[in-house]
Structure 1
Amino acid sequence: MLVYQAENPRALRGISKAQLPVIWKSNRKAWVTLAVFEDWFNNYFVGSMERYCTSKDIPFKVLLILDNAPEHPADVDDFHPNVKVVYLPPNTTALIQPIDQGVIATFKAYYPRRVIGNALQATEKNKDLTLKDFWKKYNILDAVQNIADSWDEVKQTSMNGVWKKLCPQFVTDVTEVQESVTSVIQNVVAMSRTMNLEEEDVTELLASHGEELSAEDLIQLEKQIIKEEEDMPTPEPKRFTRQGLARGFALVEEGLSKFEAEDPNMERYSSVARGVMDSLRCYKEILEEKKMVSFQTNLQQYFKTAERPATDPVPVPSASAAPLDLPAPVSPAPSAASFQ
Structure 2
Amino acid sequence: MTSKIWTQILVELNQKLHSQKRKIILFINNASCHKLKEGTQLQNTKIAFLLPIMTSLIQSLDQGIICSFKAHYHQFIIRKHLAAIDQNILAKAFSKTVDILQALHMVMSAWNLVTAQTILNCFRKAKFTLQSDEIDVQESEVIQEDQVSPNAKDLGISAKEFTELISCDQEL
The question of a shared fold, defined as TM-score above 0.5 by the shorter chain, is answered with: yes
Contact 1:61 1:82 survives alignment (8 Å): yes
Counterpart residue number, 1:79: 41
| Structure with the greater alpha carbon radius of gyration | 1
User: Structure 2: how far apart are the matches of 1:50 and 1:134?
Assistant: 46
Report the Cα offset of residue 35 of structure 1.
2.7
> Secondary structure at 1:65's aligned position in 2?
strand
Q: Is 1:151 matched with 2:117? A: no
**Could you report, residue by residue, the CA deviation over 1:183-230 in whole angstroms, capped at 9, with x for unpaired residues?**
63425752x68xxxxx75x64442133223xxxxxxxxxxxxxxxxxx
Counterpart residue number, 1:207: 167
Report the Cα offset of residue 70 of structure 1.
2.1
| Residue 159 to residue 114, structure 1, CA distance change in 2 (3 Å) | same
Amino acid at match of 1:41: L
Contact 2:28 2:48 survives alignment (8 Å): yes
Counterpart residue number, 2:69: 107
Contact 1:163 1:170 survives alignment (8 Å): no
Counterpart residue number, 2:58: 96
Amino acid at match of 2:62: D
Q: Is 1:40 matched with 2:20? A: no
| Residue 205 to residue 113, structure 1, CA distance change in 2 (3 Å) | same
Report the Cα offset of residue 109 of structure 1.
0.9
TM-score, normalised on structure 2?
Answer: 0.75
| Residue 60 to residue 131, structure 1, CA distance change in 2 (3 Å) | same
**Could you report, residue by residue, the CA deviation over 1:135-181 in whole angstroms, capped at 9, with x for unpaired residues?**
12222111111000100111111121132112162479xxx99x65x
Counterpart residue number, 1:49: 17
Give unpaired runs (5+ residues) of structure 2: 137-141
Task: Provide the aligned C-alpha RMSD in A.
Answer: 3.1
Counterpart residue number, 2:150: 184
User: Structure 1: how far apart are the matches of 2:107 and 2:11?
Assistant: 24
Give unpaired runs (5+ residues) of structure 1: 1-31, 194-198, 213-340
Q: Where in structure 2 are the equivalents of 1:48-67 lying within 5 Å?
A: 48-50=16-18, 54=20, 59-67=21-29
User: Structure 1: how far apart are the matches of 2:154 and 2:38?
Assistant: 40
User: Structure 1: how far apart are the matches of 2:38 and 2:152?
Assistant: 41
User: Structure 1: how far apart are the matches of 2:5 and 2:37?
Assistant: 15
Report the Cα offset of residue 64 of structure 1.
1.6
Report the Cα offset of residue 48 of structure 1.
4.1
**Could you report, residue by residue, the CA deviation over 1:79-103 in whole angstroms, capped at 9, with x for unpaired residues?**
3122111111221111111222221
Contact 1:76 1:85 survives alignment (8 Å): no
| Residue 35 to residue 156, structure 1, CA distance change in 2 (3 Å) | same
> Secondary structure at 1:85's aligned position in 2?
strand
> Secondary structure at 2:168's aligned position in 1?
helix
Contact 2:27 2:50 survives alignment (8 Å): yes
> Secondary structure at 1:209's aligned position in 2?
coil
Counterpart residue number, 2:96: 136
